Amino acid sequence: MVNMTLAVPEQLHRIMKKHPEIKWTEVARQAIEQKAQLIEAAEKDPFRLYAYKRLAEEGEDAEKLFKF
């Protein structure tokens, strides 16, 4: 397994410190894995892949565009 370092805003860090019972590493790992799986699936649909990449630049969730 590869190690990775993340930077989080101070406000988020304060919240995380208030909840030491949460395994934050696992939360991050699951979030990254979920996003990677969405991108892998999107590679089969060029429009969806474009939306993911475009909205990722803006920090928004592209998945909401495809819920109808």
* C-alpha–C-alpha distance, residues 26 and 1, integer Å: 13
Question: What global pTM score does this model have?
Answer: 0.64
Integer angstrom CA distances of residue 21 from 5, 6, 68: 20, 19, 37
- Contact partners, residue 16, CB within 8 Å, separation at least 6: 8, 22, 24
pLDDT digits (tens, 9 = 90+) for 25-58: 999 999 999 888 877 877 788 777 777 777 776 6
* C-alpha–C-alpha distance, residues 34 and 45, integer Å: 17
